Structure 1
Amino acid sequence: MSEYGEFETGQEHESLDQVHEVDASEQDYQSQFGVYEQDHASAESTSFDQGHHVEYTDPNGGHYEESDFTSYDHSAAESDHVFAAEGSESYNASEFHQLDALQARLDATFAEGTFASN
């Protein structure tokens, strides 16, 4: 303390450091496949026979004979086959990086005094 009063001077220094960091990643995979199959088979068979026969012998020795005949045959076979396949596949990947930094510096100087008057 002096006769003129009291004086104080000084400096203040402060700093603030803050870091925020985020790392993230995502992966996605999808697949879908389908197989379709169909079979069909059929068979048909037809047989038709018809006959007619007449035979005659008279007392005088005459002979008469008649024959009619029809024959029909049919065969058929059918086969179908269907095959189908479909599919899809997908892949996705992403990454995310974030860095936030805050830096602040506070500097201050001051002077204080108290004066006395005589």
Structure 2
Amino acid sequence: MSEYGDFSTGEQHEALDELHQVDASQEDYQSQFGVFQQDHAAAESTSFDQGHHVEYTGADGSHYEESDFTSYDHSAAETDSVFAAEGSESYNASEFHELNALQARFDAAFAEGTYASN
């Protein structure tokens, strides 16, 4: 009589957890301004007066009068102004986040056998 036996048993567990996360942010601000102003003003005034005066009184008490006059006025004003402004402004911000996680669990158990008898 001959016997032959074969048995096997097994167990297997697997697990894999994976997490991947990325957060990113970026800000940027720039400003540039410039002002330039130039002013010019001028004023001028001239006055010129000229006159002649004659006075005469007649007959016996003679009277004679004469006058000449000249009047001259001149005024001038001038102004110059310059205004300049220049500026610059800048802002920069940056953020970065990253999270990587990996969890692995592998369990295995196995039994195998062979039986033979003669």
Equivalent pairs counted in the alignment come to 105
Letter paired with 1:12? Q
Shift in Å, 1:26:
2.8
Q: Who is 1:83 aligned against?
A: 83
The 5-angstrom pairing of residues 14-93 of structure 1 reads 14-20=14-20, 22=22, 24=24, 26=26, 28-54=28-54, 64-93=64-93
Shift in Å, 1:81:
1.2
The 5-angstrom pairing of residues 88-103 of structure 1 reads 88-103=88-103
User: Any gaps of 5 or more consecutive residues in structure 2?
Assistant: 1-6, 111-118
Q: Deviations over 1:55-110 (max 9, x none)?
A: 87x9xxx8945113140312212213140314231130313031231314254769
- Give the alignment's TM-score, normalised by structure 1: 0.59
Q: Who is 1:114 aligned against?
A: none
User: Any gaps of 5 or more consecutive residues in structure 1?
Assistant: 1-6, 111-118
- Give the alignment's TM-score, normalised by structure 2: 0.59
Letter paired with 1:34? G
User: Superposition RMSD on alpha carbons, in Å?
Assistant: 3.8
